[in-house]
């Protein structure tokens, strides 16, 4: 069975660290001699609630520092100015506290990959070479957020959309069905090795940028990102089967989506459920089938 850890508490940084400690052996085996890259979510470089909180990154780094002695890369291709986002949200402070390097993926090397348009014609998009390199150990540092086109954004979407160059992200949005298929296609190329989802304060309503805060007080971690997102949906009260890109990822066999085959460790799943108010256009978002 796939293992997903849940820790509930009143301190974001500690929640994150403790959730990782619960699956420490799996993470250590996975990292081995690989370079660690943490991919935050900076879909907005000015709205703090929409972005990965810096204390989530601190929790991950606190855990890693116990055994990983190399420099950790923090990398993002933000929808705006990535460096501005790092500055606005206190990420540069991390370089004084830990051995980390902040990278703007929009200024890095890319490879061209293909997605489809509404007529299933191929469209080239630039995907980060750093995240495509499987010699790297990829950590998706996501948060619980509703979304305006694909219902919910968690660890899988964070890595997939963040891997695409800022000027090519719009190409993924070809229609309700197409965006879900395209996210799944890119996700397979940059599949995270570790999902770390911050649910201390999530976003409900008109996410992923303009929603409202909702306190849940949880952290979710797993070396199976699909299983982590499946549990995240359950906590948010979202029907997993209605999330198109996660459905397609499950159909590709990228991870475990059957809750009966997922072992939850730490806090009890049912005790963490907090039904989120979904986006005002959610009924239209369900029409991907």
Q: What is the pLDDT of residues 193-218, one digit of tens each?
A: 999 999 999 999 999 999 999 999 99
**39-78 per-position pLDDT tens digit:** 999 999 999 999 999 999 999 999 999 999 999 999 999 9
Residue 30 is predicted with a pLDDT of 99
Mean predicted lDDT score pLDDT of the chain: 98
**242-260 per-position pLDDT tens digit:** 999 999 999 999 999 999 9
In contact, 109 and 129? CB cutoff 8 Å:
yes
Query: Which 8-state DSSP code applies to residue 54?
Result: H
% of the chain exceeding 70 in pLDDT: 100
| Separation of alpha carbons 197 and 232, rounded Å | 8
Residue range 18-35: mean pLDDT, rounded:
99
In contact, 73 and 100? CB cutoff 8 Å:
yes
| Separation of alpha carbons 196 and 158, rounded Å | 11
If pLDDT is split at 50, 70 and 90, which confidence band does 120 have?
Answer: confident
Residue 172 is predicted with a pLDDT of 95
% of the chain exceeding 90 in pLDDT: 97
Domains, the chain, with CATH or none:
2-285 (3.40.50.11440)
| Separation of alpha carbons 23 and 206, rounded Å | 33
| Separation of alpha carbons 269 and 170, rounded Å | 36
Residue 41 is predicted with a pLDDT of 98
| Separation of alpha carbons 277 and 82, rounded Å | 29
Residue with tokens 């204390």: 55
Residue 116, strand partner residues: 122
Residue 60 is predicted with a pLDDT of 99
Radius of gyration in angstroms for the set of CA atoms belonging to the chain, rounded to a whole number: 17
Q: Which two tokens stand for residue 182?
A: 């395209």
Residue 127, strand partner residues: 111, 164
**130-181 per-position pLDDT tens digit:** 999 999 999 999 999 999 999 999 999 999 999 999 999 999 999 999 999 9
| Separation of alpha carbons 48 and 27, rounded Å | 29
Residue 188 is predicted with a pLDDT of 99
**Which of 208, 211, 228 is CA-nearest to residue 220?**
228
| Separation of alpha carbons 129 and 126, rounded Å | 9
Q: At 229, phi and psi to the nearest 5?
A: -70, -35
| Separation of alpha carbons 167 and 117, rounded Å | 16
**166-177 per-position pLDDT tens digit:** 999 999 999 999
The model's pTM is 0.98
Residue with tokens 């090397």: 109
Query: Which 8-state DSSP code applies to residue 164?
Result: B
């Amino acid at each position: 069975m796939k293992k997903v850890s849940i820790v509930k508490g009143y301190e974001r940084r500690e929640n994150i660290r403790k959730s990782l400690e619960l699956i420490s052996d799996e993470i250590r085996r996975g990292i081995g001699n690989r370079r660690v890259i943490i991919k935050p979510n900076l879909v907005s470089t000015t709205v703090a609630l929409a972005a990965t909180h810096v204390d989530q990154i601190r929790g991950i780094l606190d855990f890693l520092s116990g055994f990983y002695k190399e420099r950790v890369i923090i990398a993002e291709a933000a929808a705006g100015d990535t460096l501005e986002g790092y500055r606005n949200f206190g990420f540069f402070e991390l370089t004084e506290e830990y051995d980390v390097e902040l990278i703007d993926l929009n200024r890095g090397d890319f490879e061209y990959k293909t997605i489809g348009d509404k007529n299933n014609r191929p469209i080239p998009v630039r995907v980060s070479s750093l995240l495509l390199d499987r010699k790297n150990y990829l950590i998706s540092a996501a948060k619980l957020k509703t979304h305006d086109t694909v219902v919910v954004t968690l660890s899988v979407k964070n890595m997939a959309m963040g891997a695409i160059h800022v000027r090519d992200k719009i190409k993924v949005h070809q229609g309700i069905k197409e965006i879900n298929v395209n996210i799944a296609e890119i996700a397979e190329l940059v599949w995270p090795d570790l999902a770390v989802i911050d649910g201390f304060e999530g976003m409900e309503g008109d996410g992923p940028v303009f929603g409202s805060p909702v306190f849940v007080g949880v952290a979710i971690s797993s070396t199976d990102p699909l299983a982590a997102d499946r549990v995240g949906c359950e906590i948010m009260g979202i029907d997993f089967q209605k999330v198109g890109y996660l459905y397609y990822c499950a159909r590709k066999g990228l991870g475990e989506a059957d809750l009966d085959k997922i072992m939850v460790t730490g806090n009890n799943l049912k005790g963490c459920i907090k039904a989120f108010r979904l986006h005002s256009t959610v009924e239209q978002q369900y029409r991907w089938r």
